[in-house]
A and B are shown apart, each in its own frame.
Chain A
Amino acid sequence: MLEDNPFFVLGLPTDTSRIELEREAQKLLGMLELGFVEAKTYQTPLGPRSRTPELVRAAVAALRDPYRRLIAELWARHAPPAAPVEATAGAPEPSHNGLRRALGWGV
């Protein structure tokens, strides 16, 4: 759906042509083979995920099928961009872990 969406796995926009998809997949496979750090993760709206050669091959295979590409486009095109992690505003709520024990009620 979103986590393993082929467009996110390949790191390409939804309007990419089929030739460009194939080229990018080959490039990523090569980079993964050589152990490039920047190729080992990809961005999704749920946060970064780790990229493997199997995922890349599955992504490019999915995008060769027009119907599966249609579904992948529907999700990837309309998904929000990956949001940066924001610091929580204000002081954090003090934790009461261990309070039950401190008050005499157990482990």
Chain B
Amino acid sequence: MYALPVILLGRLHRYAIDARRKNRTWHYFAWSAVAALIATILFALGTAVVALFVYVKLWWLAGLVAGVLVLPIVGPTLVRHLLVPLGAYRLAYYLGWASRPGKDPTAYGLVAAAWALTTRPTGTGEVWVTRKRDVRIPLGDAEVITTALLAAARGDLATARLLMRSVLMMVEDHPMVRELAGEWVACDAVERGAWSELADDATCARWPATPLTYFLEGVAARRLGAPNAPSARELWARWLLAPKRRITAELREAAIPPPPTRSSASEAQGSEPIDAAPPEHAPLPRAIAAHLAFSSGSASELSLGTTVRAWDAALSDGATHSWLARRALELDAPLGAVDRALREVAAIVTAELARIADAAQLGSPASHGPIGDALGRRLRHGRLDSLEAGFTRWQQRRHDGEHHAAIDEWREFIALQSAYLAAVSAGGTDLRRLAFPHAYSTGTSMAAWLWNARSEYALSHAISKWLLDEALAVGDAEAIELGHRNVGLYVPTRNDK
């Protein structure tokens, strides 16, 4: 009878938190207020009951009531503000579990423990958390996020980023865990100054937003002058709602007043360091100037395209040929020196541009000439070869009977997927059509094996889903049909329990 209102309030509190996660409008503030109000009532009720039991010396009952009524309310706050800064990973694990955020409390406990390790990493702690992670079969989003946080604790931020983002492909969804992943991704983006990345995540609502994420997303939107950027007043409200206000005040100040909105044209000019040579220059000096600017500045699709076009124009230019022919005569160079010189310059330039383009994962520019054609061939073949080798190696592990942990299979897959996406985004539709059959045959075989032999349902589903998306992109009818059948299978997750 007396428990009924408490249960109802608890449910309402959970509902308010869930509703807040789905919103990025004024509803966010409203649900935050509702959740805070209910939390305060529940906390007051809980502490009053605990105090009553302590008063009548029923200690065991006081402890029980504290565990049932108070911990779920204060647990996440204690984890964030006390246990994580202290690096108390064991306590974070158990308190996270005890706060029961959803149907699978261990997931939150595991991530809380890994989070605590990021502030004070220790070898013992990593082994402890890894053991806790490995006993959870099959692999789900919490295990991947835990692995990402462990990688971050070791200082391997690139792996952490890749793993965090890979979670978005998984069908298992623990909102409490995902919002922590979203917060890590947002903080990491701010540290790197990747405002566009953060604003894009916010627009697509990829992660449920914690108050800190919500504030950082607002800062990103204002800095970029996005049309959906919050007003100064709203940003203040977001800042007030978020933790660590002393630290984030600087970000708020930098975003208010907003920097002038940059038009796409001016942005393109700003990021265009290439046209270093005055327009009156002949094609060859322009090409060399563009090449220098490209190789010494930040490589982009735009600057690569400009450089390749400049070289194609220079090496096909009659003035360049005439100058070479005249100098070859004057220097008494051997017969055929002009053609040989042009070929040598083209080879040197192509090799250097390919090296930079490969490192920056840039696509082959649409320029036809001695440099454009050679560069396109070189980038396409090199990328295709390395992709095929990667997928073959992945499949070979299974045939060799090597047993890898599910998380290692996942890491292998996302590394290959990342290489595939980088290659196809750089190589265009042609390369995608060439690369897909190999990725499809290997991926389908691995997905079936992971589902049937390893019971790794979420992992297998994620691979099948990705293959289906790719099949749709290249228009492979057979793969689309099989993909729909595979993706349509029911995927058991821990949230179903």
Contact = CB atoms under 8 A, between A and B. Distances in A.
Interface of A: 1-2, 45-46, 66-67, 69-71, 73-75, 78-80, 93-94, 96-107
Contacts of A102: 244, 247
B119 A106 contact: yes
B318 interface: no
A96 B328 contact: no
B324 to A, nearest CB: 7
B113 to A, nearest CB: 14
Given A78-B284, A104-B119, A96 B155 contact: no
Contacts of B152: 105-107
A78 B288 contact: yes
B196 to A, nearest CB: 14
A105 B183 CA distance: 9
B288 A71 contact: no
Interface in B357-389: none
Given A66-B332, A102-B247, A46 B292 contact: yes
Given A73-B327, A99-B187, A104 B341 contact: no
Given A66-B334, A80-B285, A102-B247, A74 B191 contact: no
Interface in B449-475: none
A91 to B, nearest CB: 11
Query: Interface residues of B: mostly helix, strand, loop or mixed?
Result: helix
Interface in B118-173: 118-119, 121, 149, 152-153, 155
Which 4 A/B pairs are nearest by Cβ-Cβ distance? Answer: A106-B118, A66-B333, A66-B331, A78-B285
A94 B195 CA distance: 14
Interface in B238-296: 243-244, 247-248, 250, 254, 276-277, 282, 284-285, 288-289, 292, 296
Contacts of B149: 106
B334 A94 contact: no
Interface string B330-358: 01111001001100110010001000000
B235 interface: no
A63 to B, nearest CB: 10
Nearest to B314: A78
B84 to A, nearest CB: 6
A67 B80 CA distance: 69
Say what secondary structure dominates the interface of chain A: loop
A78 B341 CA distance: 15
Contacts of A80: 276-277, 285, 288-289, 292
Contacts of A71: 341, 344-345
Size band of the B side of the interface?
35 or more
Contacts of B80: 104
B102 interface: no
Nearest to B84: A104
B184 interface: yes
Nearest to B193: A96
B337 A66 contact: yes
A99 B341 contact: no
22 contacts: A1-B348, A2-B292, A45-B292, A66-B328, A67-B341, A70-B327, A73-B327, A74-B284, A79-B285, A79-B292, A80-B292, A96-B191, A99-B247, A100-B184, A100-B188, A100-B190, A103-B212, A103-B247, A106-B118, A106-B152, A107-B153, A107-B155
Contacts of A101: 119
B10 interface: no
Given A96-B190, A96-B193, A103 B250 contact: no
A105 B341 contact: no
A1 B183 CA distance: 47
Contacts of A67: 333-334, 337, 340-341
B199 to A, nearest CB: 16
A66 to B, nearest CB: 4
B85 interface: yes
Given A96-B191, A105-B118, A107-B121, 18 more contacts: A1-B352, A2-B288, A46-B296, A66-B328, A69-B333, A70-B337, A71-B345, A74-B284, A78-B288, A80-B292, A94-B250, A99-B187, A99-B191, A100-B188, A102-B247, A104-B244, A105-B183, A107-B119
Interface in B182-203: 183-184, 187-188, 190-193
Given A66-B332, A80-B277, A104-B80, A74 B187 contact: no
A46 B243 CA distance: 47
